[in-house]
Copies of this chain bind each other. A is one copy, B any other.
Amino acid sequence: MPYDLWYWPQIPGRGEFVRLALEAGGIAYRDLARAEGGLNALAADLRRPRAQPPFAPPYLVADGMTVAQTANILLFLGERHGLAPGGAAGRFWVNQLQLTIADAVAEAHDTHHPVGVGLFYEDQKPEAARRAREFRDARLPKYLGHFEQALQGAGPWLAGEHWSYADLSLFQLVEGLCFAFPRRMAGAEREWPGVMALRGAVAALPELRHYLGSDRRLPFGDGVFRHYPELDAA
């Protein structure tokens, strides 16, 4: 039985972190909201009564369970399909890194939605400019510096000799930051050489090559990562 993935069909968003793990792990899944009429199907599925309801997409229906929250889905896939170390130290380390990546993703999102997710960007542009400046100057380098440090203690991957789902997610975070903040990220190879080398190594993974070149790989568009030139600076 293939797993069923549910996520907003128009953007890669948080669903893409799950997709990368499914694709790199060679795990069969149906991307249900991306079929024709998928958005309506997702809306209907979200209204279905469930004993263990998701708060929001993405969620994965697998073995009769509904598993939601990106980092939780990845923990599940990591355990079931060997996409993370099996021992306690490696397993909690990869989960810890994933949660820090999730925090960075949320803060990248909030650069264009600092006042509220229910409002348009156009209704919060001055606030976004302030928040984006703090993100570029303080938070982005703090996060990427942390992952650089984590790679120095291990390597070539975050949890040692084999890639884990956290490596795929760090790749996706960096891709998103390069899309949203190209001027800020222009010197990234010099500032965080390990992180940028890992990004290249994930992009070159034989397990992902077909997917990354396919039309299943969505452009960032107006999702979690957005490119507003006025929010970017070197």
Residues of A within 8 A of B (CB): 50-55, 65, 67-69, 71-72, 75-76, 88-89, 92-93, 95-96, 99-100, 103, 106, 110, 114-119, 124, 127, 130-131, 134-135, 138-139, 143, 146, 149-150, 153-154
Smallest Cβ-Cβ distance to A89: which chain B residue: B65
**In the complex, A65→B90 CA distance in Å?**
10
Check B96–A68 contact: CB distance below 8 A.
Answer: yes
Copies of this polypeptide in the complex: 2
Chain A facing B: main interface SS:
helix
**In the complex, A1→B67 CA distance in Å?**
35
Checking B55, B99, B100 against A100 with a beta-carbon cut-off of 8 angstroms, the contacting residue is B55
Check A76–B92 contact: CB distance below 8 A.
Answer: yes
**In the complex, A181→B65 CA distance in Å?**
35
**In the complex, A118→B117 CA distance in Å?**
21
Shortest 4 CB-CB contacts between residues of A and residues of B: A116-B134, A51-B153, A69-B99, A115-B130
Given the known interface contacts A92-B67, A127-B130, A130-B116, the answer about A153 and B50 at a Cβ–Cβ threshold of 8 Å is: yes
Best-surrounded residue of A99, A116, A131, A146 (most CB of chain B within 10 A): A116
Given the known interface contacts A52-B93, A68-B96, A153-B53, the answer about A115 and B114 at a Cβ–Cβ threshold of 8 Å is: yes
